[in-house]
Every structure is written in C-alpha cells, then in structure tokens.
Structure 1
Amino acid sequence: MKKIFVLIVFIIFFTNSFAQELNGWKLNGQIQLRSEVDGRDFSNSTHPLTFASIRTRLGVEKTFDEKVQLFVQFQDSRVFGEEGSPTTYTSNVDLYQGYLKILKPFGWDLSVQAGRFSIIYGTERFFGASNWSYIGRSFDGVRFSVMPDCWDLDLFALTLNESVSYINNPARGIYPFPQKETPSQSIYGFYKKNKLSDKSKFDITGFYEIDREDVAPDTNRIGLFTLGGTYWGNYGDFSTVFEAAYQLGNRGVRDVNAYMLSLSGFYKINNTTLGLGADILSGNSPDNPDKSNAYIPSYGTNHKFYGYMDYFPSNTSGLGLNDFYFKSTFDFAGTDFSLSADVHHFMSNQKSSDGKNTFGQEIDLTLVYKFVKGTNIIWGGSLFFQGDIMKAFFAPREDTAFWTYLMITANL
C-alpha cells in the first residue's frame, strides 16, 4: 500500500507539472498537525496525558466535458509513536474520498454522485465531516442532487457496515445464506434547501437508519427515522439559528421517541460577536426503562456544539442533555488574530435515579492566527468544573479537569 501511495503522489505532481498539456487537473491537499495535553480525568494527582496527531490528505480532481467529475483523495491519519518503532510500518493510508459525479445525464436537471464521499449539510448538526478528528468522516454510497439550481434536493443511500464478505466465486457451500436478509447497516435519506427570503432560509432533512442484524425474532438492531430542520435568520447585526429534530422507530426491542431542540442568537458589535443559546437533547427516564427517549446525534459534528472537551453527548448515560451557553468572538482590528470564549452550563434532560441533574460547567478559550492564506495556527484551552452527576460518574476524582492544544491546519 505504501508503494502505491508513493506512486500516486508522483503521478499527481507529474500531472500538475504539465498543467498546460493536461488542462483542468486540480491538486488539493491538507496537513493538520495537533499536540494535546489531556487532563480530562478530574484528578490533579495524576500526570496529564500528552498526544500529537497528524492528518495528511492529498487529492486530485478533473471534470471531463462538463459531464463527468472525478475526485480521488487519500488520507494518512496517525498518532505520533503508534508504530512502536521507527522501523515499523502501520497501514494508515486509506481512501478518504473517491467518487464519480455525472452531471445532467440524458439532459436531466440532476447530478449523480457515487463512491466514497464526505457529507456536509447546514450547520453539520445532522450530517458533518467531523474534521476536528484526526480521521474525519466519509460515507460509501450514492447521492442524487435533483434540480440543484432551483429545487435543491439531495437523495442519498449510504452503506455503513456490510457484515457479509463479498462473494467472488459462487461456490455451492455459500448458499443459501442462513439469514433472511443481508445483515448490513444502511442510511436512506434526503436533504432539501429552501430560501425563504434574502434574510432567511430553512433546510429540512430526513433519514432512515437500519441495522438489519437480528436481536430478537423479526426485530432489527436499529430501525430509526430522524426528521429535522434548520432555520437561519439574519437581521442586520442580529442573527439566529433554530434547529429541531424528532426520532422514532426502534433500537432493538425498545421503541424510540426522542427529540432535539436548539436555539441561538448572536449580535455583532463592531469587531465583537456575542451570543446566547440552548441545546436540548431528550433523555431516558430511569422510571421508564422499557422506553428509549434519548436523542442520539450519530452523524453530526458534535465537537462544534457540546463543548470542545468532548464530554458530551457520550457521557450522558442516556439521561439526555440540556446545554445553556454563552459565546463571544473578538477580532483584533488590523491583525490576523481572533479570540473566542465560550461558557457552557450542562444539565441532564432527565434526573438520575438518585435525583441528580447537573453535569457541570465548561469554559473554552480559542485563539486563531491566520498565518497565511489557507493556513491557520490555533491554540485552545478548556476547563471543566464537575457537577453532581459527573462527580458520581468519576468518583472519587473531583478535581477541575483541563485540556489544551496547539494545532496547525495548512490547505493546498
């Protein structure tokens, strides 16, 4: 695999060198390098962990006759030292994106994208690339963009997990397959953009996730439908975003009825932006263990919303999350620096079995330096003050948690 990657890199740069003869080829790349000091264990008596990670992406694209677009992007993701030895090779190189997009086949006003690709919709609360991660997220599947210049509707079918190995030669012993259907996991959905006016727009999405593995007679592990929407409003110096979603279906033998609500407003004063908001994710009541009322944001870029220390939503234990926050950003006039400060107050949506309902408070500081075009240097530092639920989860560790990082992201 390493030799193949080196060969691809050589071909791409060779192609770029002869851009006049091979007109239209575009090279793209990115390196994200981040070091972290992790003291998120709520114990000052332990030494904080340190990590350094690097994500390298290199791709090439070309559009042929304004009818077919080819895009291929490889990615290497690694944590420093994971090989265990400077003479050990770890196969970290993978295809991050690789797809064909057919533009207006048969003269129809649509495009068809098939292969492996990232999905970014709206605020990324429902579908996002999760680019904070040193791996990122991409999907295998097909996407139809219907009337993109006016109706702006996407239809997609994605395969998350194919648990049956590909059958190359149909030997007699393979068939019949023991289950009634292939126990794969898939997503089928749509995303529709709607411009209401020059100052407002509203997008709506719906997707059905099914994991066909049997967990009980005639019961899939997951059969879940999510319907959500996002509204943006811009009124001079004031802007607002409202998002809502509802989930229904089943997780195993438990019926699902869950919701998400989010409302935020921002006001810009010269070089400063101030904002208030609240995110509500419904949770399970300990008094109703047979019901599944916890909203799970499976494919959103959660790092953007629920605190940069990434405790949530994974540490809610199914109780849901009420996140009340204040955000501010200050751009230093005449410089390439900006500073952001966020404060979160986290509560559970449902009280725990012993009546607790506070996770704690988090403070996030972020300093961004736009070094050159396409390259940012970012420092971040965060503190988390435990509430009664987190003290119970992490007992006997009750100290203030901290986390800091320095990151460089360079785009070609």
Structure 2
Amino acid sequence: MNFPENFLHYVWQFRSFDFTALQTIDGEELKIISPGLLNKNAGPDFCHAKIQIADTVWAGNVEIHLKSSDWLKHNHQFDSAYENVVLHVVYEHDAVIKRIDGSVLPVLELKNRIANSLIQKYENLFLSLIDFPCVAQIQTVDQLIIDSFLSRTLVERFEQKSHAVNETLNELNGNWDETFYRFMARNFGFKVNALPFELFAKAVSQHIYAKNKNNPLQIEALVFGAAGFLNDHFEDEYPRKLKEEFKFLQKKYNIKPIAVSMWKFMRMRPQNFPTVRLAQFAALIVKANHLFSKVMDVKDVAQLRALFENLPVNDYWKTHYHFKKESASVNTQIGKASVDNVLLNTVALFLFAYGKHTNTQFYINRAIKLLESLPAEQNAVIDKFTGAGVEVKNAFASQGILQLKKQYCDEKKCLSCGIGIKILKQTN
C-alpha cells in the first residue's frame, strides 16, 4: 500500500472500484445511492452522502481511512462531529470501531475492490520525483479539458495576487491610484530590480508628482533623486540640473532616497539597466499622471499599449545607459515584450482585483479579455508544457499553467487536478 489517503478519496468520489455485490464487513448488503460531497474543511471527508444498508437508507457523512484503526489514531471516537458518519470506508479493516453512543460503525473495505492497474498507474504517475508528473500522459487528455482546468487555475492565480493588492490598498486607505502606482513601479523593475523600484515608489508618492506635473525636469529629478542616483559629482549639464532640482525638492517634501547600492546592473542587457527603466518611468509619469483612472477607462488593447508607447524620455538617454558614461545610440522606448509584461502583471491584475473588490463582473471580464489578447509568456515552465503537447495560445493559458505547475504539480496535488483525474480515469 503505497498511496496516501486522498487516493481513496478519489476512488470513492468517482466510484473507481468494483462496486458489484457490495457488502459491509458484517456481510450486510450495501448500495451507494450518492457518495456525497468532498469536504475540504474540518470534519468527515464526505458530507450529504446517501447509502442503503440492508433495507435501511441512511443519509449522513462518510469517513475514509487507509485502516479502520486510523479512526482511533485521529481521536474521532471523542469528536461529536463524527457522530453522523453512516459509513466508514477503508482500504484495510483492522479494528472494530464504535461511535460515542456505543453503536458499531458500518465498514466498507476496498482492499480487493481496487484494480491493481489503477494503483500502479497512481504510483507511477503521482509518486514520480519529476516536477511535471504527467509529462508523458498529458497529451492523451483532450485540449478542451486542459483549457477548462486552466481557466480555474488562472482565476486562482489572480485571486491570490489580488490579496497583495488589497493589503496595499488597505495600507493606503483605499487609494487605488497610489496602489496602482506602487505595483506599476515594481513591475518596471522586472524581477531583478523589483524591490528597489518598490521602495523608491514608497519614497515619493503620486501626489508629489502631481504637484510638479508641468515640469518634466522636476519629475525626473524626483525619480532619480529618490532612487539614490544623484549623490555623485557630475560634469554633464543634465545630471547637474537634476541634482540641483532634487536638492530643493528633497527638503520641500522631506524625501529619503533609497541606497543606490540596491540597484543591480550585473549580467543585464544595457537596455534593461535600472537607470534606463527609471528614465522611462519618469516619462510615463509625465505623459500620464494618475494612470490608474486612464487604464480603467481604456477598453481597447491597442489603446492600452499606446499609454506605454512614445514616452517623452529625456534626450540625454538617447546616448547614455547611465550617468557619466556616453554610449552609442540607445532606444529609449519600452519594447513590445516589456509593455505586454506590464499589461499582464499590473493592468490585467488591477482590472481583476478592482472587479473583485467592487463585485463588478465588468472589470473581471475586461481582465480576462486582456489576457486572451496578450501573447503567451515564454519561459522554462511554459516550454515544458508545450513540449509535452499542450497548446498555449495566449497569456490566459500561460498564467493558468504557471499556477498549475506551482500549486498542483510541485505540490503533487494530482488528485485535486482536473487533468490528473482525467488521466487516472483513462485506466478504467
């Protein structure tokens, strides 16, 4: 017996055992009218079950264990929540179990009723040490079934991500604009510099930018100053002006810059240097202050992309990747892949989170439509699934796969996965 208890949950829920001429351990005829509903909370494993023992129909709960004696190990004999158990389903019967009132609990033993081929399939598939257990079998599952489960995992992923949005929203007293600004800043860090971008955004709030929205140089000074890049001595006129402006603004708004040492440049393409990203971020603020309200109003994907295109980046960055060193011609605009990344990880997330928070399906639908309009991400996880024969059409599917991999494959929760269950059913 090399399987966990939840394997028996699967076997019972989907009746994946020989249920002809069923009898209890005591030899009474047993019929399963309804196996009940799987209970994911505390208490018996299945509730609202209906079974017939001899001539009596019983409605109540079903408890499942590998061995009958597990009832005693789990101290159910002292728990009144288990008084309404009408059937004890076990793989192996090894002890007589009585309820609190002294009545003997009816038992169904499954030991000789589960096909060896099903057990072997489970052990080979779901006890695998590889991180993608059904890599060899997933191509046998209909794409419609896969897509259906990916819809569920996509929603799970965005609901989990929305928790972080709500935490920041509460911290900022319900200010969606400021919350969006902080998440947008973190997104501009693109993992490597996400943390310093987030801390820099906390150092200068949006309302400070709003007070200086008609002066791009001051916006840029606020950005680079708060990011800690204006402490050096500069020869070029542009950074000298930024430093001078920030000295005044820092005192006016009591700004505490983050440590410049937090920013990472190593093993990074110059186009992704944090200085270039900060210049683009400053230009985005100049172009569209209070971006959240604009994002909520724009429904067309092309128009959403346009918000992040043709940014008025200072000409200085056309010949520099960072201060003090001149470079060949630099593309100062955000690339299409980076724009799509922002639309996926910030814009779609906030449409979804706002829809959930306000109970407005319209915004949730817009988030889903946006994900369906964006190309699928390209990374090692997605490559594993596409290599196994899974069709990944768009970002909706790729986000669903990332959740599937993290919450189901990595955790070996194949018996909670619609794809894993379908593969197991194919053995019968």
Q: For this structure pair, what is the TM-score category when the shorter chain's length is used for normalisation? A: under 0.3
- Give the TM-score normalised by structure 1: 0.22
**Higher Rg:** 2
- Give the TM-score normalised by structure 2: 0.22
Between Structure 1 and Structure 2, the one with more helix by share is: 2
Higher relative contact order (CA 8 A, sep 6+): 2
